[in-house]
Amino acid sequence: MADYRKLIAFGKSSFVVSLPKKWVEKHHLKKGSVISFKATDAELVLFPQSEVENKEREIRISVDGKTERRVFREIIAGYMANFNSFVLYGNELPQQSKSIRDVFHNLMAIEILEQTSTKMVAKDFLEMDNLDITSIIKKADMIIRSMMTDCRDGKTHLESMRLRGNDVDRLTFLLYRAVRHSLQNPLAAKNHSSVELVDFYWLINSLERIADNIYDLATQLSKMNKEELRITNNLLKKVDEAFLTTMKAVYAHNKELAHEVATNKSDMIEECDSFLNEHRPPAFVLSLQHIKSIARLVHVIGRTVYNSVL
């Protein structure tokens, strides 16, 4: 239930508001305790100074009786929950050692410090408070642009595409983690409000899915004839232009530009559907489906601009 306090004038230039007694007692505060705060246009967040300091957090994960995918999910969950020490243990560790190492190597700033036949210890060396969320978005954007360009130019080196897609995945996990850390530690959010952090979450989610669709599209190009490639490239060019314009709207906080791109989304979808209505080979059909998915995701990104405070 919301609590309310009245502002009290304090001198000629200040105002005072009382703090709830339960909150003060819960955080062991007393007269003279330091209270930190972060102000944005939309909110003022107060929190005890003692809680600003980063604490060592350890997660222990047993691998026995679990599939590799289950262990993968538990590691990722711990990473995004901002645990900075990982201890994996169990008699089945040798059988899963390689896959676990691959997981850690695909996470930012994680290093394996110790391993025995029944125990593996990994440590996170990332300074979350110094992380720039906007720079994560820009890095993912640049990777996707390169993937899109190579796909349009027919440079479909699938291994290179896969590795770049993995880089976007790493950035996505990192941003999920940064958003959660910032929501729990307001000073780390710098000038971003809680609403902006949620918008960043949805933005990177869309970027990751666009990267996945570009890779899946690239796997189909070698299976199509020249005419199908020509049609695919023309459609991909249009969705690429929409993506670039939408990201420009994101960085410029330009709602009108985002609306402009959104208006053209239906035309792109209808053009893809016009080809899908004909009898076409599976590879071409799959390619069109991926282009439609990218167009929809670009629209979702635009929506975060004209529906929010980004």
Domain 8-51 has CATH 2.10.260: yes
CA-based torsion, 259, 263, 268, 270: positive or negative: positive
Residue 139 to residues 62, 145, 164, 249, Cα–Cα distance (Å)? 34, 10, 11, 16
What's the average model confidence in pLDDT over 293-298? 95
Q: Per-residue pLDDT tens for 207-255?
A: 999 999 999 999 998 898 999 999 999 999 999 999 999 999 999 989 9
The answer for 235, left when phi > 0, alpha when psi is -120 to 50, beta otherwise, is alpha
Tell me if the pTM is above 0.85. no
Q: Domain boundaries in the chain?
A: 8-51, 58-128, 129-306
- On the question of pLDDT at 126 being above 80, the answer is yes
Query: Of residues 94 and 56, which shows the higher confidence score?
Result: 94
Ramachandran angles phi, psi of 74, nearest 5° = -70, -35
Q: Could you tell me the pLDDT band of residue 286, with boundaries at 50, 70 and 90?
A: very high
* pLDDT value of position 35: 76
- The domain 129-306 belongs to what CATH superfamily? Phosphate transport system protein phou homolog 2; domain 2 (1.20.58.220)
- On the question of pLDDT at 184 being above 70, the answer is yes
8 A C-beta contact, residue 141 and residue 184:
no
Which stretches of 185-281 are DSSP H helices? 194-221, 226-252, 255-276
- At CA 180, angle to CA 179 and CA 186, rounded to 5? 80
* pLDDT value of position 275: 86
* pLDDT value of position 87: 97
Q: Could you tell me the pLDDT band of residue 113, with boundaries at 50, 70 and 90?
A: very high
Pick the CATH number of 58-128 from 2.60.120.10, 3.30.110.20, 3.40.50.300, 3.30.390.50: 3.30.110.20
What's the average model confidence in pLDDT over 24-40? 75
Ramachandran angles phi, psi of 113, nearest 5° = -100, -25
Task: Please report, to the nearest 10 degrees, the dihedral formed by the alpha carbons of residues 170, 236, 158, 229 taken in order.
Answer: 170
Place of tokens 């609306």: 259
What's the average model confidence in pLDDT over 284-307? 93
- On the question of pLDDT at 93 being above 90, the answer is yes
* pLDDT value of position 310: 46
Q: Per-residue pLDDT tens for 54-84?
A: 567 899 999 999 999 999 999 999 998 889 9
